[in-house]
Structure 1
Amino acid sequence: MTGSPMSVSTARTPYMTKNRFGVSLLFLMNGFMMGSWAPMIPEFAKRLSLSEAELGLVILVFGLGSLSCMPVAGSQIARIGSRSVTLFCAAIFVPTLLLITLSNTVWAGVITVFLFGGLTGAMDVAMNANAVAVERGMRRAIMSSCHAFWSLGGLIGAGLGGLLITKIGIYGHAVALTIIAAALLAVAWPRVMVDRPHPEEERPKGGLPLTPLPWIIGLMALFSMVPEGAVLDWGALYLRNELGASVAVSGFAFAAFSLTMAVMRFAGDLVRERLGAVRTLQVCSALSIVGLLIAGAAGNAFIAIIGFAIAGIGISNMVPIAFSAAGNMPGLAPGIGLSVVTTMGYSGILVAPSAIGFIAEHTGLATVFLFIPLLHVVVLLLSRLARHADGASGH
């Protein structure tokens, strides 16, 4: 095991600091905006008279926006620091859902969704880079809890969204969520850590690293996130169609997965400090493999739900560790490493659902959930490469 310097340092700051609170609020705000978008989609499709296929293309535009803006954010973080990039992106991000709601033509809808996706992705890279900077300053792990705040924001946004749309209409909802997001940003703004770019760090031409390590860590993030997307998009359908669950019970697949993942993300930093990033990643990978195999081999919905809950415990801290490792690679500006890893990781969420649908049509979803753990076997085998995630206290 690679020992964690975070666990032995005597110079660490208190558990919660101004900078940690600031970056946590940014994760909460970003998650809240993403969660708020979900209940808006049916009305958006109806307003612009989009078929399911056309809506699918518009949602793909969201993904293309994210993937195209993530590398741009990474190069700007290397040049001017993560605070400036995060706050700039967040400020423009706040009104995007209001603009989507005011879009009355397909082209206006496509442009605003691309902007929404692009700023989501750019802010994602920048706030993760800022979280890495806070980790370094605090000499303790905080990445898992930051991602837990994102999950919490998504839960609040999705839960509140349906209620507000019912009570005050789609425009009232858009104005309310914009005010809430602006308020979160206003509170976070003075508390976000000021970081400086490091001129001595490698600045590859074109913003792309020339060493293999960031790309391998990116592959680990990709392989960590594909199963997450599989449970999100196909878990309920698997319970309903192949295990005979009712509509109500089938929803528990992702609910159980999300609950255990959120709880373990809040606990993940403490686990990482105790075990170190490498050992934590090994334990998490093993748990997710076991959980997904239980779900895939389940004879009934109850056993499958237990399997998904165990998988949630495992998957919870795999991506945060990959992001910490990306931001702490020696000789590489944090924004560059993070832009590669986030772009590769999130491309898994975009590409996996359609690929899984194609495979499932020929083999069934049970087979998919039995074979997807192979991706986490690869992560387990590569886990020692995540040792730089413990480097936050060494800078």
Structure 2
Amino acid sequence: MSASLAPVSPVDPATPRSLAAPVARTAVTLMFAVNGLLIGGWGGSLPSLRDKLAISDGQVAVLLFTAGIAGITSMQIGGRLSDVVGARRIALVALPVLVAAIVTLALAPAYPVAVVGAALLGLGNGAMDVAMNAVAVQIEQARRRPVMSSFHAFFSIGNLLGAAAVLGLAGAFGLSGGTVVTPLLLTLAVVAVLVLVVLVRIAPTAAPVEHRDAEGGKIRIPHAAWVLGIMALAFGLSEGTAVDWSSIHITDVARVDSTTGAIGLVAVSGFMVVIRLLGDRLVTRFGRRAIVRFGGVSAALGYLTVTLVSPLPLLVAGWALVGLGVGMIAPQVYAVAGHLGGGRVLAVVVTFGYAAFLAGPAVIGFLVRHVGIHHAMAVPAVLCAGIVALAATMPREDRDLA
């Protein structure tokens, strides 16, 4: 294959016709939403879990590291199995593992049990992440028009709802500290089980993906996949930095209290949701290459803004641009990866993005200690500018999906 990515291939005649039905899109939307809900609840409950188990920040870091390593491992296995037995099956097996993880964390009486819960969470989330994206790609092929952005929008919405549930539950029942984590996570687990029951009935059958040529030889992962992987590294670090550092950045640079500083994450998350809800229409009109380029420019300008300015309104505007930009990129890169080589290539690209999302904020933290939080944001600005250049390798138009 040349350096440029091949355009998205037309739908395979063997692809089950049910993938084009509206109920199939509803099912995959539910997959993304419930995945985001559980992961958001996990992230939002970490402070409460720390209080309940009386553990240190270092021990919380071990939980996050355990979940991350398990997730990366599970992505590789889940991606390959999705191609062999069909992504639907992997997603529907991974979701109960994720629910078991949430229940384990909710009821964990001691730190070692919480570590087991974190490992289960990584295993369930990694496989489900790749599998639901693989099903989403096949739905794009069957419907012959972009839908990936809307799926990722509902992941973001679910993520916000999961995190916000901490505040809602605490306010409704007067809970605080470690008393929140058990009822919160058990409630989310019940919701997920109900969604699972629905998914078992309506989730579409995803066709296995064959990786052999006409002579029966195994097709190697195309070189273009590694280009997509580099792009995933760049947007993964940029998104992780925005999620983990935006509020702290505003608090320190604008010299406001931490409550006001939280508006940074609100701006990032809110604009990510908005652009993902609009993304499919924009891709249909302008093509993936243009959308990824615009996303890279927007995120780079946003990071450049927060690197150079100090007034609160300008900082919020800068972080809004970052959210607008990074929200555009991931769905399109993952879509091209899935069209290029199914779950196997998705596993490679998603792993790059996931690893960068996890490790990136720590790298930025190292830079913050040495050059200051203001100047450290120049690094993701450069990476986002690199995405603009690498976007030239993506399809100019998705004629087969238009």
3-state secondary structure, aligned to 1:234: helix
Structure 2 residue corresponding to 1:348, chosen from 339, 356, 361: 356
Q: 1:129 to 1:13 in 2, by over 3 A?
A: closer
Q: 1:16 to 1:240 in 2, by over 3 A?
A: farther
> How far apart are the structure 2 equivalents of 1:95 and 1:30?
13
**Structure-to-structure mapping, 1:78-93, within 5 angstroms:** 78-93=83-98
1:187 aligns with 2:206: no
> How far apart are the structure 1 equivalents of 2:70 and 2:275?
30
Runs (5+) with no aligned partner, structure 1: 7-11
**Structure-to-structure mapping, 1:39-118, within 5 angstroms:** 39-118=44-123
> How far apart are the structure 2 equivalents of 1:235 and 1:208?
42
Give me the CA root mean square deviation. 2.7
Answer whether contact 1:219 1:344 (CA < 8 A) is retained.
Answer: yes
Runs (5+) with no aligned partner, structure 2: 10-16
**What's the counterpart of residue 14 of structure 2?**
none
3-state secondary structure, aligned to 2:395: helix
**Structure-to-structure mapping, 1:293-308, within 5 angstroms:** 293-308=304-319
For 1:215, the aligned partner's letter is W
**What's the counterpart of residue 372 of structure 1?**
380
3-state secondary structure, aligned to 1:177: helix
Answer whether contact 1:289 1:376 (CA < 8 A) is retained.
Answer: yes
Report the TM-score when normalising by structure 2. Answer: 0.88
**What's the counterpart of residue 30 of structure 1?**
35
| Comparing 28-37 and 49-58, the one that deviates more | 49-58
**What's the counterpart of residue 367 of structure 2?**
359
> How far apart are the structure 2 equivalents of 1:391 and 1:323?
18
**What's the counterpart of residue 142 of structure 1?**
147
**Structure-to-structure mapping, 1:323-342, within 5 angstroms:** 323-329=334-340, 332=341, 334-342=342-350
Answer whether contact 2:19 2:206 (CA < 8 A) is retained.
Answer: no
Aligned residue pairs, count:
382
1:390 aligns with 2:398: yes
**Structure-to-structure mapping, 1:262-277, within 5 angstroms:** 262-277=273-288
Identity %: 26
Report how far residue 185 of structure 1 moved. 2.1
3-state secondary structure, aligned to 1:390: coil
> How far apart are the structure 2 equivalents of 1:299 and 1:311?
16
Report how far residue 295 of structure 1 moved. 1.5
Q: 1:189 to 1:165 in 2, by over 3 A?
A: farther
> How far apart are the structure 2 equivalents of 1:353 and 1:36?
20
**What's the counterpart of residue 12 of structure 2?**
none
**What's the counterpart of residue 9 of structure 1?**
none
Answer whether contact 2:108 2:114 (CA < 8 A) is retained.
Answer: yes
Answer whether contact 1:287 1:313 (CA < 8 A) is retained.
Answer: yes
1:18 aligns with 2:23: yes
| Comparing 94-103 and 346-355, the one that deviates more | 94-103
> How far apart are the structure 1 equivalents of 2:397 and 2:138?
12
**What's the counterpart of residue 208 of structure 2?**
197
**Structure-to-structure mapping, 1:159-198, within 5 angstroms:** 159-165=164-170, 167=173, 169-198=180-209
**What's the counterpart of residue 242 of structure 2?**
231
| Comparing 268-277 and 360-369, the one that deviates more | 360-369
Report how far residue 24 of structure 1 moved. 0.4
For 2:320, the aligned partner's letter is A
